[in-house]
Structure 1
């Protein structure tokens, strides 16, 4: 019995992840180019964030965040207001219209995901979920070990 070549399996895995990332990124770029990442960051924060906090959480540059915020504000999805204690500090919050748009987008994403998983089939979907959960557990455990060192 031959030994398993985990290096080769790792290369295959990263090739497949890369291919999937390209396909998903193409779709994500077309879906409002960064705006949804900013909206998700605001929603996860459960309140307001500064533009620099948003840039960090949405993984965009400070120059790009300024353009995205202008576009979101023009659509009425977010509001920017200066801090009452420090006028230089700006806080960005989601508007009611922004919450409505996010909810619609969330439902659309769930519908597309369900349609994809239906094509994948119940057995393969359950196996994929099991494997991803196991991978996350291993990653977390390894990170805890590194943090403890």
Structure 2
């Protein structure tokens, strides 16, 4: 797994949500018999994603004890995308605008993000990371990379190749199941976004 970057944070979220939807759809469809080994796949994938969430949540708290995993996801999106409106951030995080607004209030109070009127569109409020927010992201990336290295070092050369191949294949398959990501904010819209 790559440290969080422009595509890293987004793919991580898409991978989590895509596999969860895939597994849920398989559970509720129930019309066809399960193929051999699917139950074990479903259990193992659930365990893997639960462990990944636990690790990322612990890393977030180690960088800032007040930071939740959901807030970290917003902070990573801002780091990779730059200034975003609340609506754009909500779309990228796959949560409602009111939920994002509540998280941003806490993040702003803690000095992690800043909200300002756009210099180009007075009705648009842009959210950006503060220096402290960028520092938290760098620290989280550093700690995540160290954790990934620890895991990598415990795998044999054959397991490393197989793991990378499997992760890439799953990412590809899940990407085909998900809708495309929202377009990046480029500030060149003909009318202000709401």
Q: Same fold (TM over 0.5)?
A: yes
**Corresponding position: 1:67 with 2:102:** yes
Residue 110 (structure 1) shift: 0.4
TM-score (norm. length: structure 1): 0.76
Question: C-alpha displacement at 1:42, in angstroms?
Answer: 1.0
SS of the aligned residue for 1:7 comes to: coil
Q: Is 1:90 the equivalent of 2:125?
A: yes
Aligned pair partner of 2:136 in 87, 97, 101? 101
Whole-angstrom distance in 2 between the partners of 1:108 and 1:139:
26
Could you list the per-position Cα deviations for residues 16-54 of structure 1 after superposition, in whole angstroms to 9, with x for gaps in the alignment? Answer: 111112222234445322111001111221x21011111
The secondary structure found in structure 2 opposite 1:120 is coil
CA separation of 1:124 and 1:20: change in aligned 2, threshold 3 A: same
- Give 2:46's aligned residue: 18
Question: Who is 1:40 aligned against?
Answer: 76
**RMSD across aligned C-alpha pairs, in angstroms?**
2.6
Residue aligning to 1:56 = 91
Higher RCO (C-alpha 8 Å, min separation 6): 2
- Secondary structure, aligned partner of 1:81: strand
Comparing both structures, which one devotes a greater share of its residues to helix? 1
Q: Structure 2: which 5+ residue stretches go unaligned?
A: 1-33, 61-66, 178-194
Which runs of no fewer than 5 residues in structure 1 stay unpaired?
1-5, 144-149
Alpha-carbon separation, structure 2, partners of 1:100 and 1:109: 14
Shift of the 53–24 alpha-carbon distance from structure 1 to 2, 3 Å rule, reads: same
Aligned residues: 138
User: Between Structure 1 and Structure 2, whose CA radius of gyration is higher?
Assistant: 1
Residue of structure 2 equivalent to 1:9: 37
- TM-score, structure 2 length as denominator? 0.61
Give the distance between the partners of 2:157 and 2:39, measured in 1 at CA.
27
